[in-house]
């Protein structure tokens, strides 16, 4: 793999940068941005030139990281979800910063200090991702999402710039605010110079909404459904084709046979969530349409709009109920979840336990397991000391754990691996996240997860759901995709770690 090398010499400190990302722009002698951003380059330069960098994650749309060389220091800025992952390691006045973790683990000097952390490894085994700024090796770190990290002399200071917002009173503002943010995103997409815009289309509410924004802004696009017999069936395909036809979407069904791709481990060693499907799928799209495309993906909407799980299932309903309510029925829901999980839970009694419940267990159950990992104490402290309002620290806890280390990371790396020119995740947007923090209606979310998507489809696009197959697809896809659970088997990861002599 080819790297863009750059060395920086600070007082008593040397920093080596090794970047392999194909989406790499050197804006000037002192500024580098990598990843996928939608803003015009000249606007990005103006934003960075301003003295206050704490709002860059609000101004620059996309999945990116910025490196700024300033007087006697290096500054690394990450987007709100930390999508464009960078790793770093330090040893005796030397630092390596890279987007390829193997650069550190295969360096004769640095690898000696990258010791396997068994507690972090256990967390990874249980959750399929790593949390915060850690991997499961000591001294192999990643930059946390929505942060500014400053290297000076032989130190690094990490500042969280996620906004601490109280809950607003006017819940009706949410759909208007999200509609405005999506409009701005699709106006930027329209200005991109690419041969083809590809919408990943599943037939669900998210991709349906994005299709309507593409049509409203007169953006030519093709919807793509990735069909694999291992996780889909003919009935699901028929429902998706019927939905696309009903709303007049040009749809391509691409056969995507899942197979374990060893290249996944070059990117996804620390995040193994649904990797096979996306890596195989993006490769299939490239074979059909080439790499000069913009892939538009509704990834991350579930986690952003729903603090709890968004599936239409009995278990998910109980988990949402204990998240938002207290009382007799919440206690009954807790008892039922204890039966499902075969574990003893307790309701969080303070802010620390509240954050802990979002960092552990299955999909934010908002219940504390008596065996919760003590290795999360520093992460809880990092979040608790910086954020005071409940919805803000809950949302950032999700970003800090599942969101930055799961589906968002995988789709970014799959596009990076296939050298796709543009990637847009319209819901992974700071304005959408902050407005959800302020104006989400908890009661509606219990019974109608991601209700705001449906509200916008009705109010802005007059969609009549009686003619669509949305609920049928939800139930069918949730059942079928459990068949793919073995495709991301942890055995592949263990074998790789041992072969590379990382453990």
Residue whose structure tokens are 């459990």:
482
User: Can you read off the two tokens belonging to residue 373?
Assistant: 């990992």
- Give the mean model confidence (pLDDT) for residues 48-69: 91
5 confidence band (pLDDT: 50, 70, 90): low
- Give the mean model confidence (pLDDT) for residues 73-97: 92
Residue 442 scores a pLDDT above 80: yes
- Give the mean model confidence (pLDDT) for residues 98-112: 91
Query: Which DSSP state fits 207?
Result: H
Rounded to the nearest 10°, the torsion over CA 357, 444, 313, 226 is: -100
Residue 408 scores a pLDDT above 60: yes
User: Can you read off the two tokens belonging to residue 145?
Assistant: 């999402």
- Give the mean model confidence (pLDDT) for residues 417-435: 95
What is the structure's pLDDT at 139?
94
Q: Cα separation of 429 and 431, whole Å? A: 6
Rounded to the nearest 10°, the torsion over CA 158, 163, 167, 173 is: -150
Q: Which one, of 240, 236, 280, lies nearest residue 258 by Cα? A: 280
- What's the distance, CA 183 to chain centroid? 21
82 confidence band (pLDDT: 50, 70, 90): very high
Q: Cα separation of 261 and 433, whole Å? A: 33
- Give the mean model confidence (pLDDT) for residues 200-221: 94
Q: Which of 52-61, 427-436, 469-478 has the lowest mean pLDDT?
A: 469-478
- Domain 4-160 falls under CATH 3.60.20: yes
Phi/psi at 271 (5° precision): -145, 105
Residue by residue, DSSP assigns 305-361 as H-SS---SSHHHHHHHHHHH--SHHHHHHHHHHHHHHTS-EE---SHHHHHHHHHSS
Residue 26 scores a pLDDT above 80: yes
Residues in CB range of 211: below 8 A, 6 or more apart: 199, 201, 221, 223, 247, 249
What is the structure's pLDDT at 362?
61
Question: Are the C-beta atoms of 51 and 44 separated by less than 8 Å?
Answer: no
> What sections of 130-258 are H helices per DSSP?
173-191, 205-216, 234-246
State the DSSP H helix or E strand holding residue 439, giving kind and residue range, or none if neither: helix 430-439
Residue 11 scores a pLDDT above 50: yes
> What is the tens place of the pLDDT at every residue in 454-487?
999 999 998 876 655 555 555 455 444 444 444 4
Cα dist from 54 to 77, 160, 350, 434, 498, whole Å: 9, 9, 29, 15, 41
Averaged pLDDT score across all residues of the chain:
86
For CATH 3.40.50.620, the residue range(s) in the chain are 173-303+413-492
> What is the tens place of the pLDDT at every residue in 120-131?
988 888 888 888
Question: Are the C-beta atoms of 321 and 446 separated by less than 8 Å?
Answer: yes
Residue 1 scores a pLDDT above 60: no
What is the structure's pLDDT at 87?
95
Residue whose structure tokens are 């059942």:
479
Give the residues across from 270 on adjacent strands. none
The CATH number of domain 173-303+413-492, selected from 3.90.870.10, 2.160.20.10, 3.40.228.10, 3.40.50.620: 3.40.50.620
What is the structure's pLDDT at 22?
67
């Amino acid at each position: 793999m080819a790297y863009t090398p750059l060395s920086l010499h600070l007082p008593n400190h040397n920093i080596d940068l090794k970047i392999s990302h194909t989406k790499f722009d050197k804006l000037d002698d002192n500024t580098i941005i990598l990843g996928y951003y939608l803003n015009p380059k000249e606007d990005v330069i103006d934003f960075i030139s301003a003295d206050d960098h704490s709002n860059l994650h609000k101004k620059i749309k996309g999945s990116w990281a910025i490196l700024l060389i300033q007087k006697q220091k290096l500054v690394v800025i990450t987007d709100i979800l930390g999508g464009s992952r960078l790793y770093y390691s330090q040893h005796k006045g030397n630092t390596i910063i890279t987007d390829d973790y193997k650069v550190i683990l295969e360096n004769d000097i640095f690898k000696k200090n990258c010791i396997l952390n068994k507690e972090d490894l256990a967390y990874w085994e249980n959750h399929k991702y790593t949390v915060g700024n850690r991997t499961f090796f000591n001294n192999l770190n990643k930059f946390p999402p929505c942060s500014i990290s400053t290297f000076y002399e032989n130190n690094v200071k990490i500042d969280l710039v996620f906004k601490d917002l109280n809950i607003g009173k006017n819940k009706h503002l949410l759909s208007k605010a999200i509609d405005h943010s999506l409009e701005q995103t699709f106006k930027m997409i329209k200005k991109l110079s690419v041969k083809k815009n590809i919408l990943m289309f599943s037939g669900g509410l998210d991709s349906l909404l994005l299709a309507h924004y593409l049509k409203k802004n007169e953006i030519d696009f093709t919807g793509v459904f990735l069909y694999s017999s291992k996780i889909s069936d003919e009935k699901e395909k028929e429902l998706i084709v019927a939905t696309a036809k009903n709303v007049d979407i040009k749809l391509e069904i691409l056969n995507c046979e899942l197979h374990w791709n060893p290249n996944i481990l070059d990117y996804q060693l620390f995040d193994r969530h649904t990797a096979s499907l996306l890596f195989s799928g993006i490769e299939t799209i490239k074979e059909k349409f080439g790499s000069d495309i913009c892939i538009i993906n509704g990834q991350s909407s579930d986690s952003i709009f729903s603090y709890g799980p968004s599936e239409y299932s009995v278990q998910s309903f109980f988990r949402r109920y204990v998240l938002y309510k207290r009382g007799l029925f919440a206690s009954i829901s807790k008892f039922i979840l204890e039966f499902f999980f075969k574990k003893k839970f307790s309701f969080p009694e303070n802010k620390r336990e509240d954050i802990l419940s979002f960092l552990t267990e299955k999909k934010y159950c908002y219940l504390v397991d008596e065996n919760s990992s003590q290795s999360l104490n520093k992460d809880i402290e990092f979040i608790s000391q910086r954020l005071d309002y409940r919805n803000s620290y809950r949302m950032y806890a999700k970003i800090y754990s599942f969101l930055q280390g799961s589906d968002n990371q995988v789709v970014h790396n799959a596009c990076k691996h296939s050298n796709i020119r543009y990637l847009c995740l319209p819901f992974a947007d700071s304005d959408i996240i902050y407005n959800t923090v302020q104006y989400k209606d908890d009661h509606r979310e219990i019974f109608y997860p991601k209700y705001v998507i449906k509200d916008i489809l009705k109010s802005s696009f007059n969609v009549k759901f009686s003619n669509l197959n949305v609920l049928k697809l939800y139930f069918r896809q949730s059942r079928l995709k459990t068949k793919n659970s073995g495709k991301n088997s942890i055995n592949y990861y263990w074998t790789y770690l041992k072969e590379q002599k990382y453990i």
